[in-house]
Amino acid sequence: MGIAPVIPAPRDLVEEQHRDIDRFERAIDQYLGGEIGEDVFRVIRLNNGVYGQRQGGTNQMVRIKLPAGTITPEQLDLMGRLSEEYSRGWGHITTRQNIQIHFVELTKVPDVMRELARAGLTSREACGDTVRNVMACHLAGACPHEVLDVTPWAEATFEHFVRNPLGQRLPRKFKINFSGCSTDCGQAMFNDVGVIAATRTLADGSVESGFRVYIAGGLGATPHPALALEPFTAREDLLPTVESVLRVFDQTGNRDNKLRARLKWVVDQLGIDELRRRVLKVRHTLPASSSWPGGVPELVTKVGDAPAGRSSTSESTEVGQGVSVALTPRDPYARWLASSVVRGAANHTVSALAHAHLGDITASQFRSLAAIQREFGADVRLSNRQNVVFRGLGDGQLPALYARLEAIGMARPGAELARDVVACPGADTCNIAVTQSRGLAKAIGDALEEEGLAEVGGVRINISGCTNSCGQHHAADIGFFGAERRAHGKSAPGYQMLLGGYVGQEQIHFGDKATRLPAKAAPQATVRVIRRFAAERAAGETFRAWLDRSGGAAAVGASLKDLDVFPTPDERPDFYTDYDETGPFSGEVGDSECAV
């Protein structure tokens, strides 16, 4: 398969990107000079992919869009250099396949943007009320189960909407995800538009490949499952359909109340049947629009979207949530093979995962990953579980790849295992996070390692520092979101535990509330649940099936109630200090830029 070719952006798009950067640089000068108010500058800043940080002042987070999670060796090298020259020596993979660089001085952001532009990247519309990064399954084009390779579809969708006038001042953010099959590793089922490759049998008996489109999904404080738009969407109708959904959202979204402005609230307002009717009506007349995207995108026609296909000579690796990975070998390399390698495509290539702890990658690791990608001629994607996936490999390359990853600390068996905890940045840098979600993630990982449970398969743990679900806690087997607690007259960090979240087979179950916990008791609660699951599950039983058989989240949560106790501050002062903090806990948060 090899490294995916970088298709140069059209000249006019390159020029427009540089004009964007020049405008943003002027806006910074006007803002610092008092000519532009904070409210106006915030919108400009967010539309350019720049968030303010909890630290205040001119500390900024720059979010870099990577459509479908694709990244080249040159871009990996650049991430390393940017994180050293403009930040603190590391970058962060998000659950939406972006890379974030934190602690960038505001006046230096245009320099970062120009560096990105030279490498074919942008931060444009990575934040704000815009079309966000277009995601795709990290195995698209290499998965043995896929119907179509959705990579070029995701990239064509990104190209159509970036800087598109339709998406500059939406009622709220708009998220698009692609999956190549119903396993839904791309997590289409909780997005504004979720696209899943599918087939239908025609009257003459032939089989047509196309899509099922789901709309109005979302997480946040009030999660909502995406709902089917129509039974089948033909390939030539896909991009016009996405644009039609966006247009209806722009027309009907709530512009008076940002907390009820996502597409999921339009369903509450109009009903799903009326929303479907409006979308299909807009699509019918869309060819008359100057922005009509046409039929099958040129990019898809150029590079193709044929599926990788199953091998006729080998077993296909299971993928998706709930897959039980059994690590019986003692040899570290064999354990890595068992948990981190996907094989079974008809072209006999394999994919291998490099584990990025908490989604963090140091500058040195970025450069090493670039060197590895070049050495092995691999295609690389970022996953929505904050890892790095090397694709297009041969079996003979795996021992050398493992050795290279081991040397940089990224060969730990992690895929689908309990230790692979996902967390948002939390109160490290986020203005509205209540708790240190990353600190809890590390504490849970350490507790599982100590108890010998870190390599239990079929369990996903996700943590958010507030209710907004940037850590996607609703969709995990075990989820936590941060909250302030009061005990003995003092504020203390706490979490709500949820159990049973599941995404797959074109359906989604959001986790149900199990129990509240002090932050310092959450690791022990996780240990108890995973220990019980590992001991009680039947062969091949998923976490969700075990949970249902065990009485559900409320019943399992009741068995943890003894952990929902705050000792007095004198007995356990650590219960009143959050992870990675030294002073007393404070639940104060800043202004939300997520709802601006």
Task: DSSP for 336-356, please give it.
Answer: HHHHHEEE-BTT--EEEEE--
Q: pTM value? A: 0.93
Question: Residue 50: pLDDT above 60?
Answer: yes
Q: What is the pLDDT of residues 410-419, one digit of tens each?
A: 999 876 678 8
Query: Domain 11-118 maps to which CATH number in 3.40.50.720, 3.30.70.141, 3.90.480.20, 3.40.640.10?
Result: 3.90.480.20
Mean pLDDT across the stretch 351-361?
A: 94
Tokens 């390692």 correspond to what residue? 449
Helix (H) / strand (E) element for 273: namely helix 272-285
CB 286 within 8 A of CB 244: yes
Distances (CA, A) of 368 to 65, 347, 411: 21, 27, 13
From 1-10, 119-128, 426-435, the region with the lowest mean pLDDT? 1-10
| Distance separating alpha carbons of residues 149 and 137, to the nearest angstrom | 9
At 239-290, the pLDDT tens digits run 999 999 999 999 999 999 999 999 999 999 999 999 999 999 999 999 999 8
Share above pLDDT 90 across residues of the chain, in percent, rounded to a whole number: 79
Residue type, 256: D
The residue with tokens 């599950």 is 537
Task: Report domain 135-301's class.
Answer: alpha beta
Q: Which helix (H) or strand (E) holds 70?
A: strand 70-71
Query: Which of 533 and 312 is assigned the larger pLDDT?
Result: 533
pLDDT of residue 325 exceeding 60, the answer is no
What's the rounded Cα separation, in Å, for the pair 209 and 443? 45
Residue range(s) of every CATH 3.30.413.10 domain in the chain? 135-301, 422-576
pLDDT digits (tens, 9 = 90+) for 428-473: 888 889 999 999 999 999 999 999 999 888 899 999 999 999 999 9
d(CA 391, CA 353): 9
Q: What is the pLDDT of residues 62-71, one digit of tens each?
A: 999 999 999 9
* Residues carrying CATH 3.90.480.20, the chain: 11-118
In degrees and rounded to multiples of 5, residue 195 shows phi and psi of: -115, 125
| Mean pLDDT, range 382-406, rounded to an integer | 95
> How far does the chain reach from its first CA to its final CA, in angstroms?
42
pLDDT of 306 strictly over 60: yes
* Euclidean distance between CA atoms 294 and 176, whole angstroms: 19
- Contacts within 8 Å (CB) and 24+ apart, 269-273: 272/216, 272/227
Fold for the domain defined by 422-576: Sulfite Reductase Hemoprotein; domain 1 (3.30.413)
Q: What is the spatial distance between Cα 28 and Cα 45, in angstroms, rounded to a whole number?
A: 9
Q: How confident is the model at residue 11 (pLDDT cuts 50, 70, 90)?
A: very low
**pLDDT tens per residue, range 103-120:** 999 999 999 999 999 999
Mean pLDDT taken over the chain: 92
